Structure 1
């Protein structure tokens, strides 16, 4: 009986508040690709359903008139490229009165005239859809055939990066 009472006392003490605030729930996976670091490695990449407008990285602001321009964007997993989504949200199939315009900006040096090659896979599997942006990073219209989470492998001037973009159903 003493053992049961001792065990009950331990359980009661363990259940009591230690005076510390309750731990906050773990934050949801980031809506955009992580630039780098242990957090990116610990959490599997997700596709952003919502890409909020926020201040662009300093290296991606060329051509914008505001000191801190805000646009919807997705940063590559390595942080070497950004997709500034002018046609947000992206749709598949494309809407008749607007386009899926993306401005690609490279953080790393690129060679003039080298294209940006995009290999996109719906859900990260299956046959790839390939696109080529002539002249490397820059403006483009990227129309993908189906709605969903597209996993992109981006290659330009000897560099590679990956990201995920969501295309909504039209």
Structure 2
């Protein structure tokens, strides 16, 4: 019995050896690399950059550059043709957004957008019939909008800024 206790004590002391680096605990799976490009803090400046490969259908360039915001999960992208977005909309340019899904689509399933203006509790809902695709998304006020996106059984979130006219 003493021998087992001595072996156990040696094992406990070896486990406490500070010369070995401890592995960092992993609480969840790492986010996809593409999700790093999202705008978690609602930056007002959305730079033009090369679109993700899966979002290039319909573009003639090999590496098209557009201002876009990637969903936090990396499952949807908002390509902003009407950049910067404004509220109220500008008289000569609409708030055009092309929504492209990385996830498979169900025919006829709409994209439902629930928006919350930072600091305000009210929810504004918009719907893009037929699912992700071209849209004009006008929101009621300027500011940073947190969007909950739902389509074809998928969900994602992102933040978009609407500037004051």
TM band (smaller chain): 0.7 to 0.9
2:107 aligned with 1:112 = yes
SS at match of 1:161: strand
Question: Does structure 1 conserve the Cα–Cα contact (< 8 Å) formed by 2:32 and 2:73?
Answer: no
Give how far 1:96 is off.
1.2
Q: 2-side partners of 1:143 and 1:78: how far apart?
A: 24
TM-score by length of 1: 0.74
- Match for residue 128 of structure 2? 133
Question: Does structure 2 conserve the Cα–Cα contact (< 8 Å) formed by 1:75 and 1:83?
Answer: yes
- Match for residue 163 of structure 1? 158
Question: Does structure 1 conserve the Cα–Cα contact (< 8 Å) formed by 2:32 and 2:74?
Answer: no
- Unpaired segments of 5 or more residues in structure 2? 1-29
Q: How many residue pairs are counted as aligned between the two chains? A: 133
Give how far 1:125 is off.
4.2
Give how far 1:37 is off.
5.4
Runs of 4+ off more than 3 Å: none
2:42 aligned with 1:58 = no
TM-score by length of 2: 0.76
2:82 aligned with 1:87 = yes
2:144 aligned with 1:149 = yes
Give the superposed CA RMSD: 2.0
Matches within 5 A, 1:6-85: 36=31, 45-85=40-80
Q: 2-side partners of 1:37 and 1:72: how far apart?
A: 20
SS at match of 1:59: helix
